[in-house]
Structure 1
Amino acid sequence: MLRLLLLLFSLVFSSVTLAMQEQYGRVNINGAIINPACTILAENAEQTVDLGIITQQNIEQHNSEIIYPFAIRLTNCILATSKSSLGSWQTFSMMFDGPSALGNRGFTLGDQSQGLAFEIRDEQDNTVIPRAAMKLNEHSVANKTLNYSLHLVKTSQQVKPGPFYTAVSFILIYQ
């Protein structure tokens, strides 16, 4: 009986030992430390400019007058870094990128609508050139709001009706 009890005890103890084995895993952590001159306000990083429904008649009569304003707000702007190996920020520039048209002066609307494109202009009415850095007015950076406007432009005599969608990205560059 004692042998049976010892055998039973050893079986229970060995199963408890197996249940207490350890399992190992790993958590990978990564990131970056940056020293930006400004941060783009979160709600301005992803924007939608809704052009709504535009009639062909409106385009024919008011093509150059169809303007859609939008703004990019900056926060935590520091015009100079501390005296570190990174130096100090001297200039701010903005670059827009997207499908281009008009001899690289504007952006296409894409999809089914044809014969119509758009230009982006800054608050001094300077036209943005796709993929070209455009120096920002120091006054704009000080106010922390960069005002732009989207202007529709005909690219052919006949505008083909249809829906459109395009995406343009922007990058704040500081040097």
Structure 2
Amino acid sequence: MNKNLIAVAVLAASAFSTSVFAEDGKVNFSGTIIPQGCEVTADTVNQIVDLGKVSVTSFPSSGATAGSKDFSLKLKNCPTTITAATVRFDGIQVPGNNSILALTDEANVATGVGIQIADNQNKVINLHQDSNEYPLVSTGENILKFVARYVSTSATVTAGPANAVSNFTIVYQ
């Protein structure tokens, strides 16, 4: 009988208690989904940027860069209401550094190095953040220029495949 009484008391107490959550603030998200954006040209929508074969001796210290290669995204058929855009690159970052894209995990992958992307002003673009703004025209092809390069993340770089993948999103202004 005492066990039943205790169970009823616990059940009754839980019915009257409320959960308490600490609230330090809130985040409001906003944005707009537009009916049509620019068309990314077929030759740049799924491209391969070949950074070439670079020697481990090209990275004498952490933060050294090598193998820079220009690439671009081309946009056409932009609506007349869109006059500018930024680009957000995403992907897996090197732990603790959102400006360096981690290499794809594969057999014998190189270590101590990642890939960095910079805009047409040579400003490094952090992953998941907007690039500088590129002006757009509706009556022609828009070329958004970037550069990719290897960057060492430690004092020691080992040899091996050094590939990475980044998706991109065009964000219209």
TM tier relative to shorter chain: 0.5 to 0.7
Opposite residue 69 of structure 2, the aligned amino acid is: Y
Question: Which amino acid in 2 is paired with 1:123?
Answer: N
**Does the 8 A contact of 2:52 with 2:67 survive in 1?**
no
TM-score normalised to structure 2 length: 0.67
The reply on whether 1:77 has 2:75 as its aligned counterpart is no
Counterparts of 1:62-101 in structure 2, within 5 Å, are 63-80=64-81, 89=82, 91-101=84-94
Structure 1 residues 43 and 90, CA gap change in structure 2 (3 angstroms)? closer
Query: Which position in structure 2 is the counterpart of 1:51?
Result: 51
Q: Does 1:165 align with 2:163?
A: yes
For CA contacts below 8 A with separation 6 or more, give which structure has more relative contact order.
Answer: 2
Higher helix share: 1
Structure 1's unaligned 5+ residue stretches are 1-33, 81-88
Match for residue 144 of structure 1?
142
Instruction: Specify the SS of the correspondent of 1:57.
Output: helix
Cα distance in 2, alignment partners of residues 135 and 159 from structure 1: 31
Q: What's the CA shift string for 1:72-102, capped at 9, x where partnerless? A: 111101241xxxxxxxx46522110011125
Question: Which deviates the most, 38-47 or 94-103?
Answer: 94-103
- Equivalent pair of 1:114/1:160 in contact (CA under 8 Å): yes
Q: Separation in 1 of the partners of 2:80 and 2:97? A: 35
User: Which consecutive unaligned segments of at least 5 residues does structure 2 have?
Assistant: 1-33
Alpha-carbon displacement from aligned partner over 1:29-75 (angstroms, at most 9, x marks no partner) = xxxxx7323111112100001122211123339x4353111011111
Question: Which one of 126, 131, 152 corresponds to residue 129 of structure 1?
Answer: 126
Following TM superposition, where does structure 1 have runs of at least 4 consecutive aligned residues deviating by more than 4 angstroms?
Answer: none
Q: Distance in 1 between matches of 2:65 and 2:162?
A: 19
Cα drift, residue 169 of structure 1: 0.5
In structure 2, what is the equivalent of residue 154 of structure 1?
A: 152
TM-score w.r.t. the length of structure 1 is: 0.66
Partner Cα distance (1:90, 1:122) in 2: 18
Q: How far is the alpha carbon of 1:158 from its aligned partner?
A: 0.5
